[in-house]
Amino acid sequence: MNAPFLHIDRPASSGIAHPRTGTATVALIVPVHNEESAIAPFLAAVREHTDPLKQAGVAFDFIFVNDGSSDATLDRLIEAQQADPRIRVIDLSRNFGKEAALTAGLDCCDADAAIPMDADLQDPPHVIPLLVEKWREGFEVVLAKRASRASDSFLKQRSASMFYRVHNWIAQQKIPQDVGDFRLIDRQVIEALRSLP
Ligand code: UDP
Ligand code: MG
């Protein structure tokens, strides 16, 4: 399947650290707000692409952060957790927004690396092994970049394009075009984020 995502970016100047060998844990961090019908398909899809990595010594945790859902999301998560101990559920007291939910997930993450993902499968799970492969080569951050926005509405395409242009015009720290939250971050990066107030 060739969904509109690619793993990318070996900066020309990058001094690659040592490849990571041995066993490792990776946590998927999934903020969820009113996603009762998305949980089961999401888990089925990510298991399909993460289970095979077990052979290579990479074990996965699935950290869901329930961000004040008013539907049966929490019930679905607890059922899933009872069937699969790799699943962890954080239940926020109200809706705080996706970024705060992700932060809560990172705070609870004790894995060697984390991958924030949306529950609606807009971040395609078949990219996970590619992110992990680059991390194992020694990279600390591996970004996933959308190669096509053909599935987005015209308005979304225009507003997304505007966002990157305006952001990169005013901000010192640039964001590569069409790169969102879907990425892998190493433990060192998680700790750096956690040290921020
Ligand atoms: N989400 C969340 N809190 C919110 C809104 C969204 O945790 O207040 C979650 C949502 O359930 C999904 C992810 O954040 O897993 C991305 O949300 P959405 O698909 O609505 O955003 P978009 O695709 O527009 O970036
Ligand atoms: Mg979405």
Q: What pLDDT is attached to residue 167?
A: 76
CA–CA gap between residue 116 and residue 181 (Å, rounded)? 6
In a mutational test of the pocket of ligand 1, which residue from 5, 29, 32, 33 has the highest number of ligand atoms less than 8 Å from its CB?
Answer: 33
Reduced to 3 states (helix: H, G, I; strand: E, B; else coil), residue 85 is coil
Set out the domains of the chain in order of their start, with CATH numbers. 5-147+179-194 (3.90.550.10)
What confidence score (pLDDT) does residue 87 get? 98
Give the per-residue pLDDT at 4: 45
pLDDT value at residue 47: 98
Q: What is the pLDDT of residues 62-96, one digit of tens each?
A: 999 999 999 999 999 999 999 999 999 999 999 99
Instruction: Name the E strands within 3-139.
Output: 5-7, 24-32, 58-66, 87-91, 113-116
Half-sphere exposure of 90 (CA within 13 A, CB side): 22
Ligand 1 atom with least separation from CA of 65: 7
Residues in the chain where the model's pLDDT stays below 50: 1-8, 12-13
Q: How confident is the model over 115-129, as pLDDT tens digits?
A: 999 999 999 999 999
